Structure 1
């Protein structure tokens, strides 16, 4: 992560997220296995004692955790193959990670991605403090298949050493955490599917992996009929959080083909076109609502808007007035 990592970590987690605070090895292993993945834990020195703190924030289909063991430890696999990817964003201290034959020195601004298929080993010092994003293996493979236009998901292997963390991750995770505090994981679960997809897509696009060449290859231009099919699908789902990879799949295109086709035939990316359609939908609802029957926040979230501050700015830019003014006038 970038400057201010400690402040970001502190903003993400509060006392209500503490999963375990313990020096008992069995208790620590059990909590970390539930939040992250099954593993074996070895304390480096016989006389050393754990002082472990684990915070855990479930965000719908993925999760974010903060973990510090408090003494030098080694973490090794307990099962031959994992069902998740762990993206480590170090806050303090250092560690040495290995995955298969690949190894990396991990420290602030130099993270790591532990994939799901090969043997891993983490040698961690007592000061190592980390944020860990846990992603479901099947979702990573499905989003990757959408990016390259493949019908059948396949195993994904990331380069272990993580370079520059995608710039918007910090804001994305903080927004998701704030929505979780408001109970949105229960009331708007598909919002978190969208968050998850953004996290996975940005990782696949920015971090070297075995599909990088196919992901970044020049996409073939799809026929206009498939773009119209994509538009129809998005119009039918305006009131729901829409994953562009699902739009691409429903339209018979790769995600990059969808983006290239919209740029050619529509003149804007599919996400921008979808946002414009949603703004029109919000405007129509607010303009026709009976006084006292609606509030702007509910309408915006029901139309798929997540960041309400950005929504208000975009609405005013499009219609020349605030959404609350339209509702008040009505």
Structure 2
């Protein structure tokens, strides 16, 4: 393993920045909350080991495909509203285990902050040495949720944030001679919450609703970038609108129609952000995603992202035609 050292920090100005929420691993992200996203994302890399700490101010839906052979252990540092990973309802300082090659999904209903370690499963024997159960790789091969003790959890998460803050401010502090120390200091913060917790909680909430949501999202992945109507989903999956609505309300706190609109708005945001001015128009992209009332679309877009679609594309609003068909 080549020993490389990395300390990186950046401000987030869109949900796309959270695609690198875990250093070295791609995460699919969709914005759920309204408003312009603001946040920060910091990484520390020590060889194949990394720590990522991110914070954001609006609700998010995150997914990660099963293509990563690294173990990820995460901790919830802050949450304005409910946070759920798989069927686990998370509380502050709880620890989440994402084994190698396992798909993951999470829902942040409001502004949140998290920390995530990513490293080889073979390293647990060394990194968690002294704790028989934790140093056994088999302990980490299944997804898990560890409920943090209120007192020790707060201390551990505070210490973890301080370590990151220190390394971010003083990058020179991370050197080959002390890299192993910093790595073990980071792991210790996570381990403290695992050791003091209850056994992994696999009881979950609303498993049937989440199974239905997964079927819907799998179908949306299969259909590609085209917009999908809620009636198409009901017909294809043979589920009533009432059942679908109840599942979306329980999992996301919004109905399926709103969820699909948010998903289309996120698709438009990414297209406009990646397009050069003059290569396309707001109206064309909106229409491609099923928005035909452009005035209402512009309102939805501004409410969701805190900026006009023309600003995302890089065109000054004054240069656009204002009227019934095209708007900022």
Q: Tell me, yes or no, whether TM beats 0.5.
A: no
Q: Into which bin does the TM-score normalised by the smaller protein fall? A: 0.3 to 0.5
Greater RCO between the two (CA within 8 Å, min separation 6)?
Answer: 2
Q: TM-score, normalised by structure 2?
A: 0.45
Q: TM-score, normalised by structure 1?
A: 0.44
